[in-house]
Amino acid sequence: MSDPHKNSDAKHSTQGAYVTGGEFTRDTNYIEDRVVADVDAVRSAPREESSTIGDPRIAGLTAEAQAWPVKAGRYRLVAARACPWAHRTIIIRRLLGLEDAISLATPGPVHDARSWTFDLSSDGRDPVLNTEWLQENYFKRFPDYPRGITVPALVDIPSGEVVTNNYPQLTFDFSTQWSEFHRPGAPNLIPENLIDDMLPVIKRIFTEINNGVYRSGFAGNQAAYEEAYDRLFAALDWVEERLEDRRYLMGDHITEPDIRLFTTLVRFDPVYHGHFKCNRNKLTEFPNLWAYARDLFQTPGFGDTVDFDQIKAHYYVVHEDVNPTQIVPSGPELENWLSPHGRDTLGGSPFGDGTAPGPISVDEQPPGANPLKA
């Protein structure tokens, strides 16, 4: 009997796509178009430099980038629940209440070298974009697009063309450019008085943790792996210490760095510890980080967007270089995500002057394993 999780199309195998020898280097060249509230102002502003982490203060565009107008209902966010970079957009969209303004398409977790497909739909096509493969939306705009077909991707519904896949800036723009469509009580995830201190934290989290697990998992030799491993755990030790006396990374309330860290932490024990050989400690063995992760998981907008089945299927099946058998592990157990975290003794509140989002809609509930559904 065939395994429905496996990719059996040898022609489009991912072998050789992830582990290419030596140190893993992420391609950070993205489509840097922006969807903005004032197109004319952004087009006339001074040229901006590209950034691997984004910047909520930028006023203009990078070289060759275009500005698109904010308009409710015009764009569709394609964000696989399995992917940590896409997962952060799902969380922030939900926290800000942008569900009615920006629709959501969630590709399935398992794909081949052609990348993400809309196989979770009954007919295998996205009901809004009417495409089977996300690459179709990339090719509609760039017929010879030479880079990876990545998520998250914001797609222009009328034309079916991808607008941007520049995830570092996309979530900042959700906060700054889409404010007209934020829900009442939407939290301020990028307080102006914290930005100067926030960006170095985001930079270190991206470089050493978010991307650090991949540098470990996709290392092509022992030396590259050991260097990546040491850097990753040095950064995790730094965050563990930082969270000793503050509830969240920047103090008393949730800000964007917390979301960027959470999507790596929630994948750590199910995937990164074993699959990527990040095995000095499990998340559950970091007292502060584990309590912090549970605090966020139990906060509306975080845990209710997690699908552990899709997370595991993606990594263990797609990364044939790392796991050629494509066997997906059964564990770990998930009930401990709901255990008391005790972080409220540090004071603060998740959303500051804002409020929690309401219950997640039935249409957007993750279909797979999640202890909140028990």
Enumerate the active-site residues: 83, 214
Contact 282, 241 (CB under 8 A): no
Q: Sign of torsion, CA 101 133 171 318?
A: positive
Q: Whats the size of the chain, residue-wise?
A: 374
Burial of 77 (0-12, 13-18, 19+ CB in 10 A): buried
| HSE-up (13 A, CA, CB side) for residue 372 | 20
CA dihedral 341, 345, 350, 355 (to 10 degrees): 110
